[in-house]
Structure 1
Amino acid sequence: MLEKDERLDHIAGTSYKIVQSDQVFTYSIDAVLLARFASIPLQKGRILDLCSGNGVVGITMTERTKALISLVELQEPLHSMALRSIKENGLEKQLTPLCADLKHIRDYFAHGYFDVVTCNPPYFTKGDHEQIKLESTKALARHEISCTLDDVIAAGSYVLKHGGKFTMVHRPERMVEIIETMKQHRIEPKRIRFCHSSATKPSTMLLIEGTKGGKPGLVCEAPLFVYDQDGKYTNAFNKEYFDV
């Protein structure tokens, strides 16, 4: 089940376990918050999670929906983790992982096939960063080496049906670029939420959702603060992240 340097961790706010490795990949709060923020069907439907990593977003969403969920991840080591995590949690009938390049999404799925697309993409543009040279697996997950923001949104738009939802977590400093790119691919931004480490700190995370072919009208939801003035988790964060 577990390979060298791997461990089995608990996914916050769920009854599920997930295979992780500090040497390759570990999920962070952005993945769980994305899974909780996304508007997903409760029963029937089809969901696609792009840049799915070790499967944490897809696995977390299964606590909220009975829809069929497909995962697309480029890196085989992360795909392997997802396969084993899905088996560990007995979710083989609901989750289908695919090791593939999202830039070739048309080779795997039909146009308009999905009701919802989620994505926790690489946040940083490709640059002369030491991590890119030293830690290829982590670098691919964090930097736009194998896919760009436009690649991600283009893939999501292609497989989304008209009226379908595209939900992503990203960095606030790229918000203008994100909105422009979504609109270029006929995804109209409808909901946005900024996440802050505390009420006195700038936002470090952006949750955004759009509708394929939707009408203009963006709702900015209440910000989410992780820590209160005493350094403890806020009630809002406990509810969103730990479901308590």
Structure 2
Amino acid sequence: MGPVRLEDGETLDSIGTADVRVFQRRTGYRFTLDAVLLAHFAATEGQDLPGPVLELGAGSGVVSLLLVKQFGVAGPVDALELQPAVHERLTRAVALNGCEGRVRPVLGDLRQARSLFTSGAYGQVVSNPPFRRAEAGVVSPDAERAVSKSEVACDAPSVVAAARHALRPGGGVSLVYPAARLAEVLGVLASARLFPRVLRAVHARVDAPATRFLVQALRDQDRGLSVRAPLIVHGEGPGGYSAEVAALMDVPLAERNGG
């Protein structure tokens, strides 16, 4: 493969063990570890949820590409993104990663899900939505960063409503949110008859409070809730990560050296 052409102000970044590469604005919103944790959680906990997958708010495409390229989800994965410039970078990333047909970029607004997608078309929905309430703190003056980080273009009820519409009965939605919003998000899911079945808290260190939570909920099926062991991000593993997180981020040394 020849050199990859970057647009002005772009970087080409790699993540995970399968050499997923994405285009990002140098000064815009950039993916975080949350994307990797969500993709792994959705793939692991959603093994019994066959059929197409929908990502709401796909951004640069990290979650969708990780699902098919690193975590072996058959897909196809429809990657919905609102912002045209971000969607264009997502489309180029799909081609660069050789995932045409397995990841299908869609330009559109998740608040218009009823006109974009057939009801019940998907077995699984994933979303790493904007975390910050629109009225909480200062909204970034950079429009792309603001839409990606703050609920200026969608909020939790909008994300959940879109997931509800897209999922078939028994299908599941996987989300990541700040730990402080746990009660709120569980309430929004319950009001949409999306019943949590798996919950996992994410902690920076073993003795630190939770900073995030991962949740998977099923449409119209209440099978009871399983609370997984906490996910610890930092530890004594490679790169300062815990062994579990390092295994998601780094190619084993034996593979790097051809062993």
Tell me the TM-score range normalised by the shorter chain.
over 0.9
Cα–Cα, structure 1 residues 84 and 18, in superposed 2: closer, same or farther, change >3 Å? same
Cα–Cα, structure 1 residues 78 and 42, in superposed 2: closer, same or farther, change >3 Å? farther
Map 1:102-181 → 2, pairs under 5 A: 102-127=110-135, 129-132=137-140, 134-181=141-188
Query: Could you tell me which amino acid in structure 2 is paired with residue 150 of structure 1?
Result: P
Aligned partner of 2:245 in structure 1 is 237
For residues 226 and 246 of structure 2, the distance between their equivalents in structure 1, rounded to whole angstroms, comes to 23
Aligned partner of 1:68 in structure 2 is 76
For residues 174 and 241 of structure 1, the distance between their equivalents in structure 2, rounded to whole angstroms, comes to 27
For residues 243 and 211 of structure 1, the distance between their equivalents in structure 2, rounded to whole angstroms, comes to 33
Give aligned pairs, total.
243
CA contact (8 A) 2:127 2:175 kept: yes
Deviations 1:112-157 (A, max 9, x none): 000000000011111264343x222111111110111000000001
CA contact (8 A) 1:40 1:65 kept: no
For residues 216 and 251 of structure 2, the distance between their equivalents in structure 1, rounded to whole angstroms, comes to 21
Q: CA RMSD in A?
A: 2.0
For residues 144 and 227 of structure 1, the distance between their equivalents in structure 2, rounded to whole angstroms, comes to 28
1:52 matched to 2:35? The reply is no
Percent of aligned positions that are identical: 28
For residues 171 and 50 of structure 2, the distance between their equivalents in structure 1, rounded to whole angstroms, comes to 14
For residues 123 and 237 of structure 1, the distance between their equivalents in structure 2, rounded to whole angstroms, comes to 22
After TM superposition, the structure 1 stretch with the greater mean CA deviation from structure 2, 223-232 or 7-16, is: 223-232
Q: CA deviation at 1:160?
A: 0.1
TM-score w.r.t. the length of structure 1 is 0.93
SS for the counterpart of 1:130 is: coil
Cα–Cα, structure 1 residues 161 and 208, in superposed 2: closer, same or farther, change >3 Å? same
Q: CA deviation at 1:216?
A: 4.5
Cα–Cα, structure 1 residues 178 and 120, in superposed 2: closer, same or farther, change >3 Å? same
Deviations 1:1-21 (A, max 9, x none): 421111111122222211112
After TM superposition, the structure 1 stretch with the greater mean CA deviation from structure 2, 196-205 or 111-120, is: 196-205
TM-score w.r.t. the length of structure 2 is 0.88
Cα–Cα, structure 1 residues 229 and 89, in superposed 2: closer, same or farther, change >3 Å? closer
After TM superposition, the structure 1 stretch with the greater mean CA deviation from structure 2, 63-72 or 50-59, is: 63-72
Unaligned runs of 5+ in 1: none
For residues 207 and 100 of structure 1, the distance between their equivalents in structure 2, rounded to whole angstroms, comes to 25
SS for the counterpart of 2:240 is: coil
For residues 131 and 18 of structure 1, the distance between their equivalents in structure 2, rounded to whole angstroms, comes to 25
For residues 127 and 181 of structure 1, the distance between their equivalents in structure 2, rounded to whole angstroms, comes to 18
Deviations 1:6-43 (A, max 9, x none): 11111222222111123223110001110000034599
Q: CA deviation at 1:44?
A: 6.1
Deviations 1:29-70 (A, max 9, x none): 001110000034599620000011111100000031222110
- Pairing partner for 1:31 from 30, 35, 49: 35
For residues 41 and 236 of structure 2, the distance between their equivalents in structure 1, rounded to whole angstroms, comes to 25
Q: CA deviation at 1:224?
A: 1.1
1:18 matched to 2:22? The reply is yes
Cα–Cα, structure 1 residues 192 and 242, in superposed 2: closer, same or farther, change >3 Å? farther
Deviations 1:57-109 (A, max 9, x none): 00000031222110111111211110010011111111111111100011111
